[in-house]
Copies of this chain bind each other. A is one copy, B any other.
């Protein structure tokens, strides 16, 4: 098949009897080009079907107007919303978004990091993989003055921009919510403890118990690997069959929380009467399960938007190695049926 030739600024220059410099400047609204000329050139460009070559511009400027995103998995409600927020903000500013998923593997994270670097991204937004501990693969970005924004699953030992929620307070509030509902023995489904988000949530849980004089028992705290449905199911069954079962569960995510509800129901344990449950994330399934799941809501899309803005606003001058600029967003306890022990809630509508 026949391939149409690309129209370049040189073609425009020849056609309009201007130099390529003038064409370039006109298209970028440079002030030293007269209004008339700009109008003329832009109209001709439009008519001739000119389209800028981002690769050429990027090469010259050594950046690509592209934001790189490095996350664990796309098909999780939180991540999808995060990306959605990033994409919207980036595109409004004329930026592209490159995505890559690590599938929670350290190795993939490194390799994706390199690929993104090779593409001369303007900035990088990262949510760490489950496995990641070492952080050297991010150093080259710092060395080059390329901003990195860590979101949600952030490192402890690396100075950079960070956008997080207040996991400690969220964990504290969720637990306190259960206590206020009358729970006396509250279990916790904890995520991998080397990831600060899960560690903070657990801290909040522990402090809430302490401050309210409730027992802290090792066998009420289950350390999950992935907080999957299956893991949740197994853990719930074990807890409920134990000699002294809990009357409340604070799960570090909704998936495991939902599995707890379903498992309890199957075992004839009433939720919330005998077992109150609160999750984390406010995934779509939370409002669908019955009884509907109380949870902690994230402003996921907003976190994405803020992260993107961090990159866009980043000026090389204000970037000082050794300083972390952390944005902490608030969360909200969504009290649904799965935790409301005292009052029977009327169905809305």
B-contacting residues of A (Cβ < 8 Å)?
A: 1, 3-4, 6, 49, 51-56, 58-59, 62, 64, 66, 73-77, 79-81, 83-84, 87-88, 91, 94, 96-101, 112, 114-120, 140, 143-145, 258, 262, 266, 283-285, 288-290, 301, 316, 319-321, 347, 349
Contacts and interface: CB of A to CB of B under 8 A. Distances in A.
Contact of A55 (B1, B98, B120, B262): B120
A84 B101 contact: yes
B3 A143 contact: yes
A127 to B, nearest CB: 15
A114 B49 CA distance: 11
Contact of A84 (B73, B266, B349): B73
Given A58-B55, A120-B54, A284-B284, A84 B74 contact: yes
Contact of A97 (B6, B77, B100): B100
Contacts of A49: 140
Given A74-B84, A97-B100, A101-B87, A54 B119 contact: yes
Given A117-B51, A288-B258, A144 B100 contact: no
Contacts of A79: 80
A193 B281 CA distance: 35
A139 to B, nearest CB: 10
Given A56-B59, A75-B84, 9 more contacts: A1-B319, A54-B120, A55-B59, A55-B64, A73-B84, A74-B81, A96-B98, A285-B285, A290-B290
A118 B54 CA distance: 6
8 contacts: A3-B316, A66-B98, A74-B80, A75-B77, A75-B80, A77-B77, A96-B116, A266-B349
A179 B329 CA distance: 51
A129 to B, nearest CB: 14
Which 7 A-B pairs have CB atoms at the shortest separation, nearest pair first?
Answer: A75-B80, A4-B143, A55-B58, A55-B59, A80-B80, A285-B288, A74-B84
